[in-house]
Structure 1
Amino acid sequence: MTTNSTHTYQQIARAIEHLTAHFREQPSLSELAEKVNMSEFHFQRLFTEWAGVSPKKFSQYLTLEHAKTRLRKGDPLADVAYDSGLSGTGRLHDLFVTIEGVTPGQFKQAGSGLDLLYGVFDSPFGEYVLGAINGKIALLHFLNDENDPESILASAWPEASLHHDPTVVQFLADQIFPTTDGMTTEAIPQKSDKPLSVLVRGSAFQLKVWEALLKIPEGKLASYDQIAEAIGQPTASRAVGTAIGSNPVGYLIPCHRVIKKTGLFGGYRWGTKRKQAMLGWEAARLDS
């Protein structure tokens, strides 16, 4: 990964946008390189460094048929068993992430009396703001140019006291998107003595949905209907979609792995391009 992961992601995202719009035409390397104002050699090297596979191979992960195939292969979420000995790129997030919901009283207080420490960090998918309360992740929100981190944090925890303290929050960021000498490497939580703890404000229904998302392994997909089945409310797929759209902790609670049952990628709170980048990136890493 380059020393400026956000800039790299922005360049790659433009190529992904073009690939997604024109995958049936199988855009050439020269066409893609031209879209991001690079030489073919530099673009091929940068893209392969980011995704782990060539642009041509990556484009296969963005086709409708590939998404349908992945979706069809998905096991029932309730039947998925996890092996705690998994390591490397096959590591599953739910082994390292636990969701903790606030009490009804805390929900009503909206963070009153709590200190919310935060910082803005780099990742393979652009900059994100990370907020923590008492050492627990309270928010992970990917940023666009127009985003104001404090407004985002205040919206999620309106009564909490905000403190910009990236040095304190850095230890959490390093477990989500580890860095080496300032360079972002893999987007996999590092194994530690205990899982990363996520503290969220949500209804009982939302918590059930977000917990179900943790059961979707990296490289697999689920539909909204499958999530509704997994939480025991098969007719609630629309409400499931709303709950997924309000997920406050991006990537760690992997709402990007939920697509429409037709195989279409569907929307994403942090942008469709970012969702496509995440899915293609995870599929490439898993297959390679």
Structure 2
Amino acid sequence: MNIQEDINYHRIADAIHYIQTNFKDQPNLDEVAKKVNLSPFHFQRLFTEWAGTSPKKFLQYTSIEYAKKILKENQATLFETALETGLSGTSRLHDLFINIEGMTPAEYKNGGKNLSINYSFTESPFGNILVASTSKGICHIAFAEDENKAFSIVQNQFPNASFTQHLDLIQQNALYIFNHDWKKLNQIKLHLKGTDFQLKVWETLLKIPMGQLSTYGTIAKQIENPNASRAVGSAIGDNPVAFLIPCHRVIQSTGKLGGYMWGTTRKTAIIGWEASKINIEQETDFIK
């Protein structure tokens, strides 16, 4: 790290500390930039490069984490939570939750009380999996060596939701990907909640062709955050939909496989299986 990079690092570290300390005042871009002696334009660009997100989004993430804690632990009203978080009213709190969590603050507080989730267990070429869906689409897929443990993870995400063990049409359409219909991937509905950054990373993963690989650095460049490889790695690690959102197709720039939530052995098997499927298709097309 050269002298200028060291200066920039400490500036962004100071900015992050300032936002985390003063988020209840909801400081704007100009205020934070002034604290680190930069113009708003230069600060915006520098912060995004180092933190992987804009100062405004970082403030929103900090605010919503605090709001979630209040709603969950203190059982505060939505109005009290908005004021305590430094927001002007419940409408801003509502918008914040919709944009980042994919649900209203009331839905979060109720733990998915009015949400109906179907789930089922089924065998895949790589082991038993749990598939869960709402009326909007697939919300969770995970390899499930221990079915009780796998189901408890989904329950913890929506502790008050209504769960029914039922294989519905949405799940059936998604499971076709293990057979031959990956070209119809755009027809599969997803119901995901995550930060804008996470959703952008997951969307980029969907664009990696079957049988091909990408790297964390490449994904970072594709979402226009070339210095955010570590943040990309974290977002990939938080992927709630195994295989369908192909985080297994991302490896390190050195050629090493890198981590995988469900084990590197399974990751290796999936990559090899996909490559063989593509080769079979290509050979069939050649014969025709």
| Category of TM-score, reference length = shorter chain | 0.5 to 0.7
Residues of 1 paired with 2:183 and 2:100: CA distance? 23
Task: Indicate conservation of the 8 Å contact 2:138/2:171, yes or no.
Answer: no
TM-score norm. by structure 2 comes to 0.57
Structure 1 pair 240–144 and aligned structure 2 pair: CA distance change class (3 A) = same
Match of 1:206, SS state, is helix
Q: How much has 1:156 moved relative to structure 2?
A: 3.2
Task: Indicate conservation of the 8 Å contact 2:138/2:189, yes or no.
Answer: yes
Structure 1 pair 268–188 and aligned structure 2 pair: CA distance change class (3 A) = farther
Residues of 2 paired with 1:278 and 1:147: CA distance? 24
Structure 1 pair 103–238 and aligned structure 2 pair: CA distance change class (3 A) = same
The aligned runs of 1:182-193 (5 Å cut-off) are: 186=179, 188-189=181-182, 191=184
Residues of 2 paired with 1:165 and 1:209: CA distance? 30
Task: Indicate conservation of the 8 Å contact 1:224/1:258, yes or no.
Answer: yes
Q: Which residue of 2 aligns with 1:122?
A: 123
Q: Which residue of 1 aligns with 2:102?
A: 103
Match of 1:233, SS state, is coil
Q: Which residue of 2 aligns with 1:199?
A: 191
Residues of 1 paired with 2:148 and 2:174: CA distance? 21
Q: Which residue of 2 aligns with 1:234?
A: 226
Structure 1 pair 189–175 and aligned structure 2 pair: CA distance change class (3 A) = farther
Q: How much has 1:189 moved relative to structure 2?
A: 4.1
Instruction: Tell me if 1:222 matches 2:218.
Output: no
User: What residue identity is the alignment partner of 2:124?
Assistant: S
Cα RMSD, aligned residues only: 2.5
Q: Which residue of 2 aligns with 1:172?
A: 170
The aligned runs of 1:1-288 (5 Å cut-off) are: 103=102, 105=104, 108-109=108-109, 110-145=111-146, 148-166=149-167, 169=168, 171-178=169-176, 186=179, 188-189=181-182, 191=184, 195-288=187-280
Residues of 2 paired with 1:242 and 1:274: CA distance? 19
User: What residue identity is the alignment partner of 1:186?
Assistant: N
Larger mean CA deviation between 217-226 and 157-166 belongs to 157-166
Q: How much has 1:274 moved relative to structure 2?
A: 1.1
Q: How much has 1:273 moved relative to structure 2?
A: 1.2
Match of 2:124, SS state, is coil
Q: How much has 1:125 moved relative to structure 2?
A: 1.2
Q: Which residue of 2 aligns with 1:26?
A: none
Task: Indicate conservation of the 8 Å contact 1:101/1:207, yes or no.
Answer: no
Deviations for 1:56-94, whole angstroms, at most 9, x for unmatched residues?
Answer: xxxxxxxxxxxxxxxxxxxxxxxxxxxxxxxxxxxxxxx
Figure out how many residues of one structure are paired with residues of the other and give that number.
Answer: 180
Q: How much has 1:101 moved relative to structure 2?
A: 7.9
Structure 1 pair 249–187 and aligned structure 2 pair: CA distance change class (3 A) = farther
Task: Indicate conservation of the 8 Å contact 1:216/1:257, yes or no.
Answer: yes
Deviations for 1:194-247, whole angstroms, at most 9, x for unmatched residues?
Answer: 711111111111001100101100011110001111111111110110110010
Task: Indicate conservation of the 8 Å contact 2:210/2:274, yes or no.
Answer: yes
The gaps in structure 2 that reach 5 residues or longer are 1-98, 281-288
Residues of 1 paired with 2:271 and 2:143: CA distance? 16
Structure showing greater Rg: 2
Match of 1:152, SS state, is helix
Larger mean CA deviation between 250-259 and 126-135 belongs to 126-135
Task: Indicate conservation of the 8 Å contact 1:221/1:258, yes or no.
Answer: yes
* Higher share of residues assigned helix: 2
TM-score norm. by structure 1 comes to 0.57
Q: How much has 1:284 moved relative to structure 2?
A: 1.1
Deviations for 1:256-285, whole angstroms, at most 9, x for unmatched residues?
Answer: 000000011111111111111110001111
Task: Indicate conservation of the 8 Å contact 1:121/1:173, yes or no.
Answer: no
Q: How much has 1:153 moved relative to structure 2?
A: 1.1
Task: Indicate conservation of the 8 Å contact 2:136/2:190, yes or no.
Answer: no
